Structures are given as structure tokens and as C-alpha cells.
Amino acid sequence: MEGVTTGAHPSHDQDERWVGTARHDTPAGRPRGRRYSTQDPIVKPESRIWRSTHVVVTAAVACAMCASPRDAFAGMTSIGPGVELEVRQDQLPGEGSQSEGWIARVSPRLSLGRIGPRSTLELTGIRSYDSNERLSGPTWVGDEAALRFLVTSSPYASLSTFAGYVSSRDPLGTKALAPVSFHESAIATGGGRLERWRLEGGYQVRSHTYETPGQFDGLSQTWDAALFPYRRPDMALVVSGRGRDVRVENERALSTVDLTAGMRRTHFAGLSSEFELGAASTRDPIRGTNSWDLAVVAGLTADRGALHLPVDLRFHFVRDVATTGFAEVSLPGRRSRLAARWEQTLGAEGGYFADPTMSKYLTFEARDTLRGGYAVSLEGSLGQTRSYFDDGPWLKTNRLWASLSRGLLPWLSMGIDYSFVNQDGDSSVPSWVFQRNRLGLRLTLGAQ
């Protein structure tokens, strides 16, 4: 897809009208972190977002193309063009709320899939345009792209890569796990993983960049590598290394390296666990200090019924300078799915955060296919973000999406969508405070 800078960019006044009462003024209180100066403001060219994030996506694509075996792309190819037409109305909750009027959105999309005997390749891309009575259009409002590639050459050898890109100036336009941004910002993620009988390794990167001057770009990278000196199908001894690199405005803000050793074990079909112990070294350029911490890795995978549980359970946590990881439960059905996930990450959210950030998110999902071709879904996230070096209040960002859809034809469906966002932050940063809900009617043309 083309860079987001090719779309039309409305003026500041137009953008102010588009977001209703969302406030874009400079916060009254300056961030307590370093690098912020009123005499030397951060100036960003409009093309900064695309130049600083497209590398993340192309790196994952290049990894898939270069490291894939000869038959990785063998198989059947499917191409799915389509378009979504939506009419929606934004409403500002609370006393004195008023309708923001009807907004029309058109979102052309294209998907490509290739499934072979031992490989899977998926590509999707969506671009959205808006038009309403206040803002003549169609005007570019967002891009989304995703890549997933997996090849398995044997039961103990696989390669996978992924990449994602979301760029938008719509506070309700994405489902990204990040605080609300009122001007254009972009989140790019990517990574890869290689697994062999005696070794495995992985790399992940996340970039969050902003168009608005005075807001900070964040970049976080993690890697891990494991060697198995002794391995059997049901047990393995492992020596591992892990690393974390956090940058704000392209300056290193925090780095950690872990060295651990332990064991992974498959207890029986459907139940496996892992445990490692070691040490972690953390370098803090902000304070100019180095520290050592105990490093602990713990994980468990339990399929439904393995521990007499009615759900699938999985968790993986790493404790070094901070505790990071995730825990998730899911209940997949023939026509339904229930899932919940809690995760905590140490990275660089950027925006008004001039330091590394700690983020906590609880996400949930419920989907069901009803009679008569109807499908209902409910998704949401409860998030908290704050500076890692500051014990101040959390920035809370809560989102909710609900939809009811029905397939009319194999290539045509319609649905009703509802979304809600509420964000509470420090009163010294008034642009953080935000609340809005949206109701829309959607028509989707293309392969379902």
C-alpha cells in the first residue's frame, strides 16, 4: 500500500471540527520526563510517520521472502477485493452533549491468501475515507495493513513472521491497544520466529509515531534465543537469552539483557510447562545507572480438560527489572468463541510520555453465530498506561465494540456497529480526557 502521506490532510481547523470537542491545545503541565523543552520544541515533518514506521513492516516481509524454503509459496492463491460502506453518527456523552452529525465512510480493501501443504501466507490492506457536512470529502482518515506468514517443514521446525500497520486520525477508528490520539499517529509492529530441534529464536518490534509537534515517538524491541543441550519429545533442558531495547525520540531510554537456564516439560497430552532462572542486567541511560536483578521465566499451556478446567488456559511471564507477560483463557465452540487476555508490557508508548512506559491491558471477546444467518460480537479492552519511572496516576483508556451482522448473499452482508471510548488522565494534560460513542450502519461488498 502507499504511504499515508499520499492521502489528503485537512487543515488544523478542519481537523478540530472533525473531532468535535476533543481538545488539541498544548497541555498546561509539561511531562516530568527529560527531552521536553519549550525553547526547543520537537518539530516533525508530515512524512515522519511513514518514514519511521514502514521499515518495521518491510522487515517482516523481507524475512518471509528470504528465509522461506522453496515450496513455501506453493499452493492455491485467493484474491479478495472488497469495500465497506458505512454511515455513522458520533455522540458526545454527558450533560450538554450534542450530535456530531452523520458521517459517511468508504473503505476499499484487498486481501490475498496462499495456502500450501506446509505454509500459509495472508496479506490484507484497508484504506478509509470520510465525508460529512463539516468536512468536504472524501478525505483520507486511516490505513490498516497486516501480514502473516507461516511455514512448517517438520514437527520440530517452523518459521513464522508477522507485520501490522495502523495509521489514523480518528480517535475511534482503530482497535489498537494504545491511548487515544487526536491527530494522526501510526503504530507499526513486526517480528519473526524460527524454531528447530536444538534451538529457537524470535524478534519483535513496535513503533508508535506521531505527527503532532511536541509529542514523542516511541520504539521498543525485544529478542530471545534458546539452546537445548538435551532434548526429548517430553522434556528439554534450555539455556536462554533475552533482550529489551526501549527508545524515545530515537534515544535509548532503557535496555535489559537476561541470561537464564531451566527446563521445559510436556507432562501429558494437552499440558506443558516451563521454568527458567537466571540474572538480568539493566542499563538506565536516563539516570546513568546499571543494575542487576533476579530473572525468572514461567509458563503454562493447558488445553480444556487437561486440569479439569472448562477452558483453554495459557500464560507466560518474565520477571527481570519488571514483570511482563500475558495470561489468557478461551472457550472456542463450533459457532462461537469466548476469550479474555491480560497482558503487561514495558515499552515506549510515546505521545505525552517522554520516558519508557508500563502498560496493562485486559481484553475480552465474545462471538456467536445465530440462526437466520445473523452473527453477534462483543469486544472490549480496559487499559492503563503510565511512565515507568513515575508512580503517578495511570492513564486509563477503555474501549468497547459491539456489532450485529447478517449475510445477505455470498458477497454481501450488512450490520449495525456500536463503539465507545472513555479516557481519563492527569488533569494537567487536558487533551487526555476524552469520551465518545458511535453508532453506524455498515454494508460490506466482497468475499465474506
Torsion, CA 345, CA 349, CA 353, CA 357, rounded to 10: 10
Q: Per the domain annotation, does 427 fall within a domain? A: no
Q: Per the domain annotation, does 32 fall within a domain? A: no
Burial class (CB in 10 A: 0-12, 13-18, 19+), 400: middle
Q: Per the domain annotation, does 41 fall within a domain? A: no
Q: Per the domain annotation, does 165 fall within a domain? A: no
Q: Per the domain annotation, does 425 fall within a domain? A: no
Find the range with the poorest average confidence among 155-159, 377-381, 411-415. Answer: 155-159
Question: Distance between CA 76 and CA 81 in Å, rounded?
Answer: 17
Q: Per the domain annotation, does 377 fall within a domain? A: no
Other CB atoms within 10 Å distance of the CB of residue 343: 19
pTM of the model: 0.81
- The answer to whether 219 and 348 have CB atoms below 8 angstroms apart is yes
Whether the predicted pLDDT of 12 surpasses 90? no
pLDDT tens profile 294-343: 999 999 999 998 888 889 999 999 999 999 999 999 998 888 899 999 99
Q: Per the domain annotation, does 212 fall within a domain? A: no
pLDDT tens profile 14-54: 232 222 223 333 333 333 343 333 334 444 544 445 444 45
Share of the chain above pLDDT 90, in %: 55
pLDDT-based confidence at residue 166 (cuts at 50, 70, 90):
very high
Tell me the pLDDT of the chain averaged across its residues: 82
Q: Which domain holds residue 291?
A: 224-242+256-335
Average pLDDT (92-103) is 56
**For the chain, what is the domain count?**
1
Average pLDDT (373-392) is 91
**Residue, of 200 and 176, whose pLDDT is higher:** 200
Q: Per the domain annotation, does 288 fall within a domain? A: yes
- The answer to whether 134 and 101 have CB atoms below 8 angstroms apart is yes
